Amino acid sequence: MHKKIFFATLFLLILSIPVLCMASAKPIEIYINGEKIESDVAPIIVNDRTLAPVRVISENLGAEVYWDNDNRQVQIITSSKTIILKIDDVKALVNGQEVVLDVPAKIVNDRTLVPLRFLSESLGADVSWDNDLRRVIINRADAKVVDLAYEVIEGKPTVVITGDSPLEYSAVEIQDDRRLAIDVKGRLDTQNNALYVYDSCLEKAIAGEISIEPPITRIVLELSSNAAYKTYSSPDKKSIFVSFTYFDNILEDLTFENKKRQFIAEITTTNAANADYFFLSNPDRLVLDIKNIGLSEIDIPHVPDNNFVKDVRIGQFADDTVRVVFDLKNDTSYQVFQADNVFSVVFSQPFTIEDVKVTSQGDVSLVEILSSDEVFYELKDDTYKKQLKVIVPGAAIGKNLLDRNVIKIADGIIDYIELAKVKDAKTYNLEIVINLSSFVSCEMLSSSPTSNVKFALHKSSSLLPLSNKLIVIDPGHGGSDPGAIVGSVKEKDLNLDIALKLKSLLESNGAKVFMTREDDTFVNLYARAGMANEINADLFISIHHNSATSSATGTETLYYPDPQKKLLAQALQKAIVSHTGFHNRGIVERPGIVVTRETKMPSALVEVGFLTNSNDLALIVTDEFKQKVAQGILQGIVDYLCGSVN
């Protein structure tokens, strides 16, 4: 009897061993060019081959992915290669040539998984396996410089360096003989390796390899005298541009005015210019960088005796930047102001804000900020936080306010007012933060400088956050790219229908709208993001529809891992499902999506529903449903701007 019990126990232990081993196995990790790649569906191993989500891998290797639901196949497309894999079929096509796979593509949890090594190597990447770490390591192949050209772009003569994949580069100027070296990480693969121009900007440019391992291609540009240059990349990073310009704006004059309690420096330029300024310590200096400007032959006047500034130095810091450096005495406050083509830098002892008064009259609150002397100030609004900030450079808090850092108001317009000193080395700003209980319009009743900053706050409608916001609407796909197709229904048409309805809603509520396409036109993904960045948009909304197995249903919103982009996705997802009643699939972090990754502003991609689900599709094609989606997106945008995201 004891023997039977012993053998039964041993048998159970043996059966449990594989289960325990499987439970303790570490999940497979994927690293591309040293960065860990996350996916909502983990890679799997089938017949000793790793299968991974096709979209995650392809997009991180610079390819675009399209799903053909009718033929149950996925297409991976780059500028030089088209790969087609059919679900559960070991035969694949690479540029029309048949390839037999060890394992076929499969669908797992509504995601298409494909053989990882085959896909990566087909896209020109190297693949290795670290068994100890259970890690797949993918590295892109070396980039190649495939062309060197001289063109006019946006009215400026420009050297264009083109690669077969994204290019990394650095620029070094050799001041002595006006030469500029552009070092590109990659091999030289073009016979067009020299440009002989001899115009007012460029004499010649010659390319050659200076290193084999790692591969480095150097392009040396011999510049003409007085030519300024700027280097930048295309949105897809495959082209490097070196554009040239003459100085059409110069620093013409510098004057000083010494007053009893102030020292003022005035800098005059030919035309209005932009400038950055910052403070450096040990020793204390104020640095003013004036952009897109040259330095003329001016005589720097002697700095008169004063209590604030020791000396002033001016130089051409870069080809397009003049730097002015003020060496300071003791603890000095400064303010920088601009009126057209004149910069005024005012140095003084710190002054104080003596009182903050609020007078409430129905739907209007009158705010007065009293100072010990005339002050310059800046008013900024933060709609998301429902705040107005009055920023007074170099000011201190007066005795009457020292114990009143928070001033309670609660008049239905203003909740409370905070006073905060924001320090930067030895200089600081005083911020008077107006925390609002409702959205307002602001009427300024004073002008800078003044000893009494005065403005009125008026209650406004709930859609005020949209006023003058610049919102980019991106209808997915278009032209030769139809997106998902089910029968006669094409995703690109649905996306555009909703986008046009949303445009109308936004504009009727005060927003400014830019469409990446307004008709059936193909637009490159990087170009879509580039448009939004170029116009400095406030928000970017991309509209798409999903496709997968027939059981997949509902709405989801995709975002790039960034706090503000996640908040926007949450607001959109909540509002859309509330308006449409569709199944809520939640928000999904997707680092590889070009339009949300490359946009600098808050952005999100809405997948409205599944064309491959008959119930979803029956509603999606109706005009009434499209209007509900547009209204949901509108509400989501307002909720985000209002900070109403749970």
CATH 3.30.457.10 domain position(s) in the chain: 29-140
CATH 3.40.630.40 domain position(s) in the chain: 465-642
Structure tokens at 567: 């908040």
- What's at 372, amino acid-wise? S
Q: Which fold has domain 465-642?
A: Aminopeptidase (3.40.630)
Long-range contacts of 452-456 (CB under 8 A, 24+ apart): 452/368, 452/369, 452/370, 452/371, 453/367, 453/368, 453/369, 453/371, 453/375, 453/377, 453/390, 453/392, 454/366, 454/367, 454/368, 454/369, 455/366, 455/367, 455/379, 456/364, 456/365, 456/366, 456/367
Residue-level pLDDT at 17? 44
> Could you give phi then psi for residue 361, rounded to 5 degrees?
-140, 90
Q: What is the pTM of this model?
A: 0.38
CATH 2.60.40.3500 domain position(s) in the chain: 144-245, 254-347, 351-460
Whether 607 sits among the annotated catalytic residues: the reply is: yes
Catalytic residue among 431, 491, 598, 607: 607
Q: Evaluate whether 528 touches 534 at the Cβ level (below 8 Å).
A: no
**CATH entry 3.30.457.10 includes domain 29-140:** yes
CATH architecture, domain 254-347: Sandwich (2.60)
- Rounded Cα distance between 218 and 207, Å, is 6
Q: Look at residues 148, 147, 144 and name the one whose alpha carbon lies nearest to residue 205.
A: 148
Which positions of the chain have pLDDT values less than 70?
1-25, 79, 173, 175-177, 225-228, 246, 296-299, 331, 350, 382-385, 423-428, 438-440, 460-464, 643-646
- Rounded Cα distance between 244 and 80, Å, is 32
Residue-level pLDDT at 246? 66
Q: Evaluate whether 615 touches 584 at the Cβ level (below 8 Å).
A: no
Strand blocks (E) in 164-249: 169-174, 179-185, 187-188, 194-196, 202-211, 216-223, 228-233, 239-245
For 24, the enclosing helix (H) or strand (E) is helix 2-24
**CATH entry 2.60.40.3500 includes domain 144-245:** yes
Residue-level pLDDT at 23? 42
Peptide bond into 283 cis (omega under 30): yes
Structure tokens at 45: 């191993």
**pLDDT per residue over 567-590, tens digit each?**
999 999 999 999 999 999 999 999
CATH class of 351-460: mainly beta
For 486, the enclosing helix (H) or strand (E) is strand 485-486
**pLDDT per residue over 35-58, tens digit each?**
888 888 888 888 888 889 988 888
